[in-house]
Structure 1
Amino acid sequence: MTAVERHRGRRVLRVLARSAQRAGTLRMVVLTTGGAVLASTAICYLSYCAFGVPVLDGSISSQIALAAPVAVPLLVAPPLNWYLAASITVISGLLDDVDRVRRQLLAEAVERDRLHAQLEWQALRDPLTGLLNRRGFFDRAGAFGAGRDLLVISVDIDDFKQVNDRFGHSVGDDVLREVAGMLSRAAGEDALVGRLGGDEFIAVVDGADQDAVGRVRAGLASLPITLSTSTAVVVGASVGVATLTVGESIDAAIAPADLDMYTMKQRRRVDRSVDVIRRR
Protein backbone atom coordinates (compact mmCIF):
# COMPACT_ATOMS: atom_id res chain seq x y z
CA MET A 1 0.00 0.00 0.00
CA THR A 2 1.37 3.40 -0.98
CA ALA A 3 1.59 6.42 1.32
CA VAL A 4 -1.15 8.11 -0.71
CA GLU A 5 -3.48 5.12 -0.28
CA ARG A 6 -2.73 5.00 3.44
CA HIS A 7 -3.47 8.72 3.83
CA ARG A 8 -6.71 8.41 1.86
CA GLY A 9 -7.82 5.46 3.97
CA ARG A 10 -7.18 7.31 7.21
CA ARG A 11 -9.20 10.27 5.96
CA VAL A 12 -12.09 7.89 5.30
CA LEU A 13 -11.82 6.59 8.86
CA ARG A 14 -11.85 10.12 10.32
CA VAL A 15 -14.91 11.11 8.30
CA LEU A 16 -16.77 8.01 9.41
CA ALA A 17 -15.75 8.58 13.02
CA ARG A 18 -17.22 12.10 12.94
CA SER A 19 -20.41 10.64 11.49
CA ALA A 20 -20.50 8.21 14.39
CA GLN A 21 -20.39 11.00 16.94
CA ARG A 22 -23.48 12.57 15.39
CA ALA A 23 -25.28 9.24 14.98
CA GLY A 24 -25.41 8.33 18.65
CA THR A 25 -25.73 4.57 19.12
CA LEU A 26 -25.48 3.16 15.59
CA ARG A 27 -22.34 1.15 14.90
CA MET A 28 -20.61 -0.64 12.04
CA VAL A 29 -17.19 -1.91 10.94
CA VAL A 30 -15.14 0.26 8.61
CA LEU A 31 -12.90 -1.21 5.90
CA THR A 32 -9.98 0.53 4.18
CA THR A 33 -12.23 1.21 1.22
CA GLY A 34 -14.77 2.96 3.44
CA GLY A 35 -17.28 0.14 2.99
CA ALA A 36 -19.13 -1.66 5.74
CA VAL A 37 -19.14 -5.14 7.24
CA LEU A 38 -22.58 -6.12 8.53
CA ALA A 39 -23.19 -7.37 12.03
CA SER A 40 -25.99 -9.88 11.63
CA THR A 41 -27.44 -12.12 8.97
CA ALA A 42 -30.83 -10.43 9.42
CA ILE A 43 -29.49 -7.01 8.52
CA CYS A 44 -27.41 -8.61 5.82
CA TYR A 45 -30.56 -10.05 4.31
CA LEU A 46 -32.28 -6.66 4.33
CA SER A 47 -29.40 -4.75 2.79
CA TYR A 48 -26.78 -5.77 0.25
CA CYS A 49 -24.94 -8.93 1.29
CA ALA A 50 -25.68 -10.25 -2.19
CA PHE A 51 -22.93 -7.91 -3.36
CA GLY A 52 -20.29 -9.70 -1.33
CA VAL A 53 -20.31 -7.88 2.02
CA PRO A 54 -18.96 -10.32 4.67
CA VAL A 55 -20.92 -11.04 7.84
CA LEU A 56 -19.30 -11.06 11.28
CA ASP A 57 -22.36 -12.18 13.29
CA GLY A 58 -21.15 -10.10 16.21
CA SER A 59 -17.72 -11.77 16.46
CA ILE A 60 -14.73 -9.60 17.32
CA SER A 61 -11.27 -10.85 16.38
CA SER A 62 -8.03 -9.94 18.11
CA GLN A 63 -7.32 -7.46 15.31
CA ILE A 64 -10.48 -5.44 16.07
CA ALA A 65 -10.39 -2.90 18.89
CA LEU A 66 -13.31 -1.16 20.57
CA ALA A 67 -13.83 2.33 19.16
CA ALA A 68 -16.42 5.10 18.91
CA PRO A 69 -19.79 4.22 17.38
CA VAL A 70 -19.98 4.72 13.64
CA ALA A 71 -23.05 4.93 11.42
CA VAL A 72 -23.25 5.36 7.68
CA PRO A 73 -26.29 4.82 5.44
CA LEU A 74 -26.10 1.84 3.09
CA LEU A 75 -27.87 2.64 -0.15
CA VAL A 76 -29.99 -0.34 -1.19
CA ALA A 77 -32.43 1.00 -3.73
CA PRO A 78 -32.77 4.77 -4.10
CA PRO A 79 -34.22 6.64 -2.39
CA LEU A 80 -34.32 4.22 0.56
CA ASN A 81 -31.42 4.22 3.04
CA TRP A 82 -30.77 1.48 5.56
CA TYR A 83 -28.79 2.02 8.75
CA LEU A 84 -26.98 -0.61 10.81
CA ALA A 85 -28.05 -0.79 14.44
CA ALA A 86 -25.85 -3.56 15.79
CA SER A 87 -23.04 -3.64 18.31
CA ILE A 88 -19.88 -3.93 16.22
CA THR A 89 -16.63 -2.01 16.41
CA VAL A 90 -14.43 0.08 14.19
CA ILE A 91 -11.38 -1.72 12.92
CA SER A 92 -8.38 -0.10 14.56
CA GLY A 93 -5.11 0.09 12.72
CA LEU A 94 -6.49 -1.81 9.74
CA LEU A 95 -4.22 -0.04 7.30
CA ASP A 96 -1.15 -1.28 9.16
CA ASP A 97 -2.69 -4.75 9.28
CA VAL A 98 -3.17 -4.68 5.51
CA ASP A 99 0.50 -3.79 5.03
CA ARG A 100 1.54 -6.53 7.43
CA VAL A 101 -0.61 -9.13 5.67
CA ARG A 102 0.66 -7.98 2.30
CA ARG A 103 4.27 -8.33 3.45
CA GLN A 104 3.48 -11.74 4.90
CA LEU A 105 1.87 -12.92 1.66
CA LEU A 106 4.85 -11.64 -0.31
CA ALA A 107 7.26 -13.44 2.02
CA GLU A 108 5.22 -16.63 1.69
CA ALA A 109 5.28 -16.33 -2.10
CA VAL A 110 9.05 -15.85 -2.08
CA GLU A 111 9.42 -18.85 0.22
CA ARG A 112 7.22 -20.97 -2.05
CA ASP A 113 9.35 -20.01 -5.04
CA ARG A 114 12.49 -20.88 -3.08
CA LEU A 115 11.14 -24.27 -2.04
CA HIS A 116 9.99 -24.98 -5.60
CA ALA A 117 13.44 -24.14 -6.95
CA GLN A 118 15.05 -26.27 -4.25
CA LEU A 119 12.83 -29.26 -5.01
CA GLU A 120 13.48 -28.86 -8.72
CA TRP A 121 17.22 -28.68 -8.07
CA GLN A 122 17.08 -31.82 -5.93
CA ALA A 123 15.08 -33.66 -8.58
CA LEU A 124 17.36 -32.76 -11.48
CA ARG A 125 20.80 -32.42 -9.88
CA ASP A 126 23.36 -34.85 -8.55
CA PRO A 127 23.80 -33.91 -4.88
CA LEU A 128 27.47 -34.96 -4.79
CA THR A 129 28.83 -33.06 -7.80
CA GLY A 130 26.11 -30.48 -8.45
CA LEU A 131 25.93 -31.58 -12.09
CA LEU A 132 22.72 -32.57 -13.79
CA ASN A 133 21.72 -36.11 -12.93
CA ARG A 134 20.51 -38.58 -15.56
CA ARG A 135 16.96 -37.29 -15.46
CA GLY A 136 18.02 -33.65 -15.51
CA PHE A 137 20.43 -34.22 -18.39
CA PHE A 138 17.93 -35.96 -20.65
CA ASP A 139 15.19 -33.47 -19.74
CA ARG A 140 17.35 -30.66 -21.10
CA ALA A 141 19.18 -32.51 -23.86
CA GLY A 142 16.22 -32.46 -26.25
CA ALA A 143 16.09 -28.68 -26.44
CA PHE A 144 19.82 -28.06 -26.08
CA GLY A 145 21.56 -26.73 -29.17
CA ALA A 146 18.50 -26.98 -31.39
CA GLY A 147 19.30 -26.30 -35.03
CA ARG A 148 23.05 -26.92 -34.86
CA ASP A 149 25.50 -29.80 -34.83
CA LEU A 150 26.83 -30.88 -31.45
CA LEU A 151 29.63 -32.94 -29.99
CA VAL A 152 28.80 -35.54 -27.34
CA ILE A 153 31.68 -36.28 -24.97
CA SER A 154 31.51 -39.46 -22.88
CA VAL A 155 33.79 -39.70 -19.82
CA ASP A 156 34.50 -42.67 -17.58
CA ILE A 157 37.08 -42.69 -14.75
CA ASP A 158 39.69 -45.40 -15.18
CA ASP A 159 39.77 -48.09 -12.48
CA PHE A 160 37.63 -46.03 -10.15
CA LYS A 161 37.03 -49.09 -7.98
CA GLN A 162 40.71 -49.02 -7.02
CA VAL A 163 40.27 -45.52 -5.63
CA ASN A 164 37.49 -46.67 -3.31
CA ASP A 165 39.34 -49.86 -2.35
CA ARG A 166 42.65 -48.16 -1.56
CA PHE A 167 41.54 -44.86 -0.09
CA GLY A 168 37.90 -45.28 0.93
CA HIS A 169 34.62 -44.01 -0.43
CA SER A 170 35.06 -40.51 0.98
CA VAL A 171 38.14 -40.13 -1.19
CA GLY A 172 36.17 -41.60 -4.07
CA ASP A 173 33.61 -38.83 -3.56
CA ASP A 174 36.42 -36.26 -3.66
CA VAL A 175 37.62 -37.73 -6.95
CA LEU A 176 34.13 -37.57 -8.45
CA ARG A 177 33.80 -33.92 -7.47
CA GLU A 178 37.22 -33.07 -8.91
CA VAL A 179 36.47 -34.83 -12.19
CA ALA A 180 33.09 -33.10 -12.39
CA GLY A 181 34.71 -29.72 -11.84
CA MET A 182 37.44 -30.34 -14.40
CA LEU A 183 34.91 -31.55 -16.98
CA SER A 184 32.69 -28.52 -16.46
CA ARG A 185 35.59 -26.09 -16.81
CA ALA A 186 37.01 -27.82 -19.87
CA ALA A 187 33.66 -28.16 -21.64
CA GLY A 188 32.86 -24.49 -21.09
CA GLU A 189 30.02 -22.58 -19.45
CA ASP A 190 27.71 -23.05 -22.44
CA ALA A 191 28.02 -26.84 -22.37
CA LEU A 192 25.45 -29.30 -21.06
CA VAL A 193 27.24 -31.43 -18.46
CA GLY A 194 25.87 -34.27 -16.37
CA ARG A 195 26.70 -37.28 -14.25
CA LEU A 196 24.82 -40.27 -15.59
CA GLY A 197 25.70 -42.45 -12.63
CA GLY A 198 28.68 -43.96 -10.82
CA ASP A 199 31.83 -42.71 -12.51
CA GLU A 200 30.16 -41.98 -15.86
CA PHE A 201 29.92 -38.38 -17.03
CA ILE A 202 28.71 -36.74 -20.21
CA ALA A 203 29.07 -33.34 -21.83
CA VAL A 204 27.47 -31.85 -24.93
CA VAL A 205 29.19 -28.90 -26.61
CA ASP A 206 28.74 -26.90 -29.78
CA GLY A 207 29.89 -28.85 -32.81
CA ALA A 208 32.15 -25.99 -33.83
CA ASP A 209 34.03 -26.13 -30.53
CA GLN A 210 36.52 -28.82 -31.47
CA ASP A 211 38.94 -27.44 -28.91
CA ALA A 212 36.59 -28.51 -26.12
CA VAL A 213 37.37 -32.16 -26.79
CA GLY A 214 41.08 -31.47 -26.55
CA ARG A 215 40.63 -29.56 -23.31
CA VAL A 216 38.62 -32.40 -21.76
CA ARG A 217 41.10 -35.06 -22.83
CA ALA A 218 44.08 -33.04 -21.65
CA GLY A 219 42.47 -32.16 -18.35
CA LEU A 220 41.34 -35.69 -17.51
CA ALA A 221 44.22 -37.72 -18.94
CA SER A 222 46.20 -37.32 -15.72
CA LEU A 223 44.42 -35.41 -12.99
CA PRO A 224 46.33 -35.02 -9.72
CA ILE A 225 44.12 -34.79 -6.65
CA THR A 226 45.45 -33.88 -3.22
CA LEU A 227 43.66 -35.68 -0.40
CA SER A 228 42.94 -34.39 3.08
CA THR A 229 45.51 -36.88 4.37
CA SER A 230 48.25 -34.90 2.57
CA THR A 231 48.44 -37.68 0.01
CA ALA A 232 48.00 -37.01 -3.69
CA VAL A 233 46.68 -39.42 -6.29
CA VAL A 234 46.67 -39.21 -10.04
CA VAL A 235 43.38 -40.21 -11.61
CA GLY A 236 42.92 -40.81 -15.30
CA ALA A 237 39.71 -40.86 -17.31
CA SER A 238 38.89 -42.22 -20.74
CA VAL A 239 37.11 -39.86 -23.12
CA GLY A 240 35.03 -40.71 -26.18
CA VAL A 241 33.47 -38.35 -28.72
CA ALA A 242 30.68 -38.55 -31.28
CA THR A 243 28.97 -36.00 -33.50
CA LEU A 244 25.28 -35.27 -33.10
CA THR A 245 23.89 -33.81 -36.31
CA VAL A 246 20.82 -31.63 -36.60
CA GLY A 247 17.64 -33.66 -36.27
CA GLU A 248 19.18 -36.59 -34.39
CA SER A 249 18.25 -37.50 -30.84
CA ILE A 250 20.86 -37.45 -28.10
CA ASP A 251 20.64 -41.25 -27.84
CA ALA A 252 21.91 -41.56 -31.39
CA ALA A 253 25.24 -40.02 -30.37
CA ILE A 254 25.68 -41.47 -26.89
CA ALA A 255 26.22 -45.03 -28.12
CA PRO A 256 29.08 -44.17 -30.53
CA ALA A 257 30.59 -41.81 -27.95
CA ASP A 258 30.58 -44.63 -25.39
CA LEU A 259 32.13 -46.99 -27.92
CA ASP A 260 34.89 -44.49 -28.62
CA MET A 261 35.42 -44.05 -24.88
CA TYR A 262 35.70 -47.81 -24.22
CA THR A 263 38.15 -48.18 -27.10
CA MET A 264 40.36 -45.55 -25.47
CA LYS A 265 39.96 -47.25 -22.10
CA GLN A 266 41.30 -50.51 -23.50
CA ARG A 267 44.36 -48.70 -24.83
CA ARG A 268 44.94 -47.02 -21.50
CA ARG A 269 44.77 -50.20 -19.43
CA VAL A 270 48.49 -50.69 -19.83
CA ASP A 271 49.06 -47.34 -18.15
CA ARG A 272 48.91 -46.62 -14.45
CA SER A 273 45.57 -44.90 -13.90
CA VAL A 274 45.57 -44.58 -10.10
CA ASP A 275 48.68 -44.16 -8.02
CA VAL A 276 49.99 -42.45 -4.93
CA ILE A 277 52.38 -39.83 -6.30
CA ARG A 278 53.28 -37.89 -3.19
CA ARG A 279 53.21 -38.41 0.55
CA ARG A 280 54.15 -35.77 3.09
Structure 2
Amino acid sequence: MSPDLTPSPDLFDAETRVLSAARATFDDPHAGLAEHREALGGLLAGYERLLRETRRLIGRSDREELEMNRLNQRLHELAGELEYRATHDSLTGVLNRAAVIEHARTLLGTSGMALVVLDIDHFKRINDSFGHPVGDQVIRGVVACLQPLVPPAARIGRVGGEEFTVLLPGRSIDVAETLAEQMRAAIAAHDFHLPDRSAVTASFGVGALAKGSSFDVAYRCADEALYAAKRGGRNRVMCADHVYG
Protein backbone atom coordinates (compact mmCIF):
# COMPACT_ATOMS: atom_id res chain seq x y z
CA MET A 1 0.00 0.00 0.00
CA SER A 2 1.42 3.37 -0.99
CA PRO A 3 1.91 5.91 1.79
CA ASP A 4 -0.61 8.69 2.25
CA LEU A 5 0.91 11.69 0.47
CA THR A 6 -1.90 14.08 1.40
CA PRO A 7 -0.20 17.25 2.67
CA SER A 8 -0.91 18.35 6.22
CA PRO A 9 -3.26 21.34 6.45
CA ASP A 10 -1.56 24.71 6.90
CA LEU A 11 -2.66 26.10 10.26
CA PHE A 12 -1.94 29.62 8.99
CA ASP A 13 -3.48 29.23 5.53
CA ALA A 14 -5.87 32.20 5.95
CA GLU A 15 -3.08 34.49 7.17
CA THR A 16 -0.78 33.32 4.36
CA ARG A 17 -3.39 34.18 1.73
CA VAL A 18 -4.07 37.64 3.24
CA LEU A 19 -0.31 38.32 3.38
CA SER A 20 0.16 37.22 -0.25
CA ALA A 21 -2.68 39.47 -1.41
CA ALA A 22 -1.27 42.43 0.52
CA ARG A 23 2.21 41.87 -0.94
CA ALA A 24 0.78 41.64 -4.44
CA THR A 25 -0.98 44.96 -3.90
CA PHE A 26 2.18 46.49 -2.43
CA ASP A 27 4.23 45.31 -5.43
CA ASP A 28 1.64 46.52 -7.98
CA PRO A 29 2.75 50.00 -9.12
CA HIS A 30 -0.73 50.63 -10.55
CA ALA A 31 -2.68 49.82 -7.36
CA GLY A 32 -4.71 52.76 -6.14
CA LEU A 33 -5.66 53.99 -2.68
CA ALA A 34 -8.73 51.78 -2.50
CA GLU A 35 -6.70 48.65 -3.23
CA HIS A 36 -4.10 49.59 -0.62
CA ARG A 37 -6.80 50.27 1.97
CA GLU A 38 -8.41 46.94 1.22
CA ALA A 39 -5.07 45.16 1.53
CA LEU A 40 -4.35 46.97 4.82
CA GLY A 41 -7.79 46.04 6.15
CA GLY A 42 -7.14 42.40 5.29
CA LEU A 43 -3.79 42.56 7.06
CA LEU A 44 -5.35 44.11 10.17
CA ALA A 45 -8.11 41.50 10.29
CA GLY A 46 -5.60 38.68 9.82
CA TYR A 47 -3.29 40.12 12.47
CA GLU A 48 -6.13 40.47 14.97
CA ARG A 49 -7.22 36.89 14.32
CA LEU A 50 -3.64 35.67 14.70
CA LEU A 51 -3.25 37.63 17.94
CA ARG A 52 -6.48 36.15 19.37
CA GLU A 53 -5.43 32.64 18.40
CA THR A 54 -1.94 33.14 19.83
CA ARG A 55 -3.38 34.34 23.14
CA ARG A 56 -5.76 31.37 23.20
CA LEU A 57 -2.94 28.91 22.52
CA ILE A 58 -0.68 30.52 25.12
CA GLY A 59 -3.49 30.37 27.68
CA ARG A 60 -4.15 26.75 26.83
CA SER A 61 -0.45 25.95 26.99
CA ASP A 62 -0.16 27.59 30.42
CA ARG A 63 -3.16 25.63 31.70
CA GLU A 64 -1.76 22.40 30.31
CA GLU A 65 1.63 23.14 31.86
CA LEU A 66 -0.02 23.75 35.22
CA GLU A 67 -2.01 20.54 34.86
CA MET A 68 1.13 18.64 33.86
CA ASN A 69 2.97 19.99 36.91
CA ARG A 70 0.03 19.03 39.12
CA LEU A 71 -0.07 15.52 37.67
CA ASN A 72 3.70 15.18 38.02
CA GLN A 73 3.51 16.23 41.67
CA ARG A 74 0.71 13.74 42.28
CA LEU A 75 2.75 11.03 40.57
CA HIS A 76 5.65 11.69 42.94
CA GLU A 77 3.24 11.60 45.89
CA LEU A 78 1.76 8.30 44.74
CA ALA A 79 5.24 6.84 44.24
CA GLY A 80 6.11 7.88 47.79
CA GLU A 81 2.87 6.39 49.13
CA LEU A 82 3.49 3.12 47.29
CA GLU A 83 7.05 2.94 48.60
CA TYR A 84 5.83 3.63 52.15
CA ARG A 85 3.14 0.95 51.91
CA ALA A 86 5.66 -1.52 50.53
CA THR A 87 8.04 -1.01 53.47
CA HIS A 88 5.78 -0.21 56.44
CA ASP A 89 3.25 -2.10 58.49
CA SER A 90 -0.22 -0.72 57.83
CA LEU A 91 -1.41 -1.10 61.44
CA THR A 92 1.48 0.50 63.30
CA GLY A 93 3.49 2.50 60.75
CA VAL A 94 6.78 0.80 61.70
CA LEU A 95 8.86 -1.19 59.19
CA ASN A 96 7.46 -4.46 57.91
CA ARG A 97 9.39 -7.74 57.94
CA ALA A 98 10.90 -7.37 54.46
CA ALA A 99 12.04 -3.81 55.17
CA VAL A 100 13.59 -4.88 58.50
CA ILE A 101 15.65 -7.56 56.77
CA GLU A 102 16.74 -5.23 53.97
CA HIS A 103 17.66 -2.44 56.38
CA ALA A 104 19.58 -4.82 58.65
CA ARG A 105 21.59 -6.24 55.75
CA THR A 106 22.39 -2.72 54.56
CA LEU A 107 23.62 -1.77 58.03
CA LEU A 108 25.74 -4.90 58.33
CA GLY A 109 27.58 -3.91 55.18
CA THR A 110 28.97 -0.84 56.96
CA SER A 111 28.87 -1.48 60.70
CA GLY A 112 27.95 -3.87 63.43
CA MET A 113 24.66 -3.63 65.27
CA ALA A 114 22.60 -5.06 68.07
CA LEU A 115 19.04 -6.24 67.71
CA VAL A 116 16.17 -6.77 70.08
CA VAL A 117 13.30 -9.13 69.32
CA LEU A 118 10.17 -9.08 71.43
CA ASP A 119 6.89 -10.93 71.52
CA ILE A 120 3.70 -9.92 73.34
CA ASP A 121 2.92 -12.47 76.05
CA HIS A 122 -0.36 -14.41 75.82
CA PHE A 123 -1.48 -12.38 72.82
CA LYS A 124 -3.76 -15.15 71.56
CA ARG A 125 -5.66 -14.97 74.82
CA ILE A 126 -6.20 -11.23 74.29
CA ASN A 127 -7.54 -11.76 70.78
CA ASP A 128 -9.71 -14.71 71.79
CA SER A 129 -11.09 -13.01 74.88
CA PHE A 130 -11.67 -9.48 73.60
CA GLY A 131 -11.55 -9.65 69.81
CA HIS A 132 -9.12 -8.53 67.15
CA PRO A 133 -9.88 -4.78 67.44
CA VAL A 134 -8.65 -4.90 71.04
CA GLY A 135 -5.66 -6.96 69.89
CA ASP A 136 -4.85 -4.27 67.31
CA GLN A 137 -5.13 -1.65 70.04
CA VAL A 138 -2.58 -3.58 72.11
CA ILE A 139 -0.17 -3.87 69.16
CA ARG A 140 -0.35 -0.13 68.54
CA GLY A 141 0.11 0.49 72.25
CA VAL A 142 3.27 -1.62 72.36
CA VAL A 143 4.77 0.41 69.51
CA ALA A 144 3.82 3.59 71.35
CA CYS A 145 5.78 2.30 74.36
CA LEU A 146 8.87 1.56 72.26
CA GLN A 147 9.08 4.71 70.18
CA PRO A 148 10.09 7.21 72.92
CA LEU A 149 12.85 4.87 74.10
CA VAL A 150 14.73 3.98 70.93
CA PRO A 151 17.60 6.23 69.76
CA PRO A 152 17.09 8.27 66.56
CA ALA A 153 19.15 5.91 64.38
CA ALA A 154 17.25 2.82 65.54
CA ARG A 155 14.46 1.21 63.54
CA ILE A 156 11.42 -0.61 64.88
CA GLY A 157 9.84 -3.31 62.76
CA ARG A 158 6.82 -5.56 63.06
CA VAL A 159 7.97 -8.96 61.84
CA GLY A 160 4.96 -11.06 62.85
CA GLY A 161 1.48 -10.74 64.28
CA GLU A 162 2.67 -9.83 67.77
CA GLU A 163 6.44 -9.96 67.25
CA PHE A 164 8.69 -6.93 66.81
CA THR A 165 12.35 -6.22 66.14
CA VAL A 166 14.43 -3.17 67.05
CA LEU A 167 17.62 -2.61 65.03
CA LEU A 168 20.33 -0.67 66.88
CA PRO A 169 23.24 0.37 64.60
CA GLY A 170 26.66 0.38 66.26
CA ARG A 171 25.33 -0.64 69.68
CA SER A 172 26.82 -3.28 71.95
CA ILE A 173 24.84 -6.17 73.33
CA ASP A 174 25.08 -4.65 76.82
CA VAL A 175 23.53 -1.37 75.64
CA ALA A 176 20.83 -3.32 73.80
CA GLU A 177 20.08 -5.37 76.91
CA THR A 178 19.65 -2.22 79.00
CA LEU A 179 17.35 -0.73 76.38
CA ALA A 180 15.35 -3.96 76.17
CA GLU A 181 14.83 -3.89 79.92
CA GLN A 182 13.54 -0.30 79.66
CA MET A 183 11.15 -1.39 76.92
CA ARG A 184 9.96 -4.35 78.97
CA ALA A 185 9.27 -2.14 81.98
CA ALA A 186 7.45 0.46 79.86
CA ILE A 187 5.11 -2.13 78.38
CA ALA A 188 4.43 -3.74 81.76
CA ALA A 189 3.58 -0.35 83.30
CA HIS A 190 1.40 0.85 80.39
CA ASP A 191 -2.39 0.89 80.76
CA PHE A 192 -3.73 -0.84 77.65
CA HIS A 193 -7.34 -0.38 78.82
CA LEU A 194 -8.24 -4.04 78.46
CA PRO A 195 -11.83 -4.82 79.44
CA ASP A 196 -10.69 -6.91 82.41
CA ARG A 197 -8.04 -4.28 83.36
CA SER A 198 -5.29 -6.89 83.11
CA ALA A 199 -1.72 -5.90 82.27
CA VAL A 200 0.11 -6.62 79.04
CA THR A 201 3.69 -7.86 79.10
CA ALA A 202 6.30 -8.87 76.54
CA SER A 203 9.31 -11.15 76.43
CA PHE A 204 12.63 -10.07 74.89
CA GLY A 205 15.63 -11.65 73.21
CA VAL A 206 18.80 -9.66 72.52
CA GLY A 207 21.62 -10.37 70.10
CA ALA A 208 24.54 -8.57 68.47
CA LEU A 209 26.08 -8.75 65.01
CA ALA A 210 29.57 -7.82 63.82
CA LYS A 211 30.10 -5.99 60.53
CA GLY A 212 29.67 -8.32 57.56
CA SER A 213 27.91 -11.01 59.59
CA SER A 214 24.80 -12.95 58.61
CA PHE A 215 21.58 -11.36 59.76
CA ASP A 216 19.72 -14.67 59.50
CA VAL A 217 22.08 -16.43 61.90
CA ALA A 218 22.10 -13.64 64.48
CA TYR A 219 18.33 -13.17 64.27
CA ARG A 220 17.81 -16.86 64.89
CA CYS A 221 20.03 -16.68 67.99
CA ALA A 222 18.19 -13.62 69.33
CA ASP A 223 14.92 -15.40 68.62
CA GLU A 224 16.14 -18.40 70.61
CA ALA A 225 16.95 -16.03 73.49
CA LEU A 226 13.40 -14.67 73.21
CA TYR A 227 11.91 -18.14 73.56
CA ALA A 228 14.21 -18.84 76.48
CA ALA A 229 12.61 -15.78 78.10
CA LYS A 230 9.19 -17.26 77.31
CA ARG A 231 10.15 -20.60 78.88
CA GLY A 232 11.65 -18.80 81.87
CA GLY A 233 8.31 -17.27 82.82
CA ARG A 234 7.78 -14.45 80.29
CA ASN A 235 7.99 -10.69 80.92
CA ARG A 236 11.78 -10.82 80.96
CA VAL A 237 14.90 -10.13 78.85
CA MET A 238 17.35 -12.80 77.76
CA CYS A 239 20.58 -12.34 75.77
CA ALA A 240 22.24 -14.55 73.18
CA ASP A 241 25.51 -16.07 74.36
CA HIS A 242 27.88 -13.96 72.24
CA VAL A 243 28.29 -11.56 69.36
CA TYR A 244 27.79 -13.27 66.03
CA GLY A 245 29.86 -12.52 62.99
Aligned to 2:111: 148
Aligned to 1:172: 135
Cα distance in 2 between the residues matched to 1:247 and 1:42: 68
More helix by share: 2
1:260 to 2:225 alignment: yes
Cα distance in 2 between the residues matched to 1:43 and 1:259: 76
Aligned to 1:4: none
Structure 1, gaps ≥5 residues long: 1-39, 45-54, 59-68, 74-86, 272-280
Cα distance in 1 between the residues matched to 2:225 and 2:130: 29
Cα distance in 2 between the residues matched to 1:43 and 1:165: 74
Cα distance in 2 between the residues matched to 1:194 and 1:43: 61
Aligned to 2:158: 195
* Offset of residue 174 of structure 1: 0.8
Cα distance in 2 between the residues matched to 1:248 and 1:225: 39
Q: Deviations over 1:144-184 (max 9, x none)?
A: 25422210111111111121122221111111011122223
Aligned partner letter, 2:111: R
Distance 1:192 1:145, change over 3 A: farther
- Higher RCO, 1 or 2 (CA under 8 Å, sep at least 6)? 2
Cα distance in 2 between the residues matched to 1:132 and 1:270: 24
Aligned with 1:219 (options 154, 158, 183): 183
Q: Deviations over 1:27-47 (max 9, x none)?
A: xxxxxxxxxxxxx95377xxx
* Offset of residue 215 of structure 1: 2.8
TM-score normalized by structure 1? Answer: 0.62
More strand by share: 1
- Kindly report the root-mean-square deviation, in angstroms, between the aligned alpha carbons of the 2 structures: 3.1
Cα distance in 2 between the residues matched to 1:91 and 1:128: 54
Matches within 5 A, 1:233-244: 233-244=198-209
Matches within 5 A, 1:129-148: 129-144=92-107, 146-148=109-111
Distance 1:43 1:251, change over 3 A: closer
1:163 to 2:129 alignment: no
Task: Give the number of equivalent residue pairs.
Answer: 198
Structure 2, gaps ≥5 residues long: 20-45, 237-245
Paired residue secondary structure (1:139)? helix
TM-score normalized by structure 2? Answer: 0.70
Paired residue secondary structure (2:206)? strand
Cα distance in 1 between the residues matched to 2:62 and 2:235: 72
* Offset of residue 126 of structure 1: 0.9
Cα distance in 2 between the residues matched to 1:43 and 1:140: 57
Paired residue secondary structure (1:129)? coil
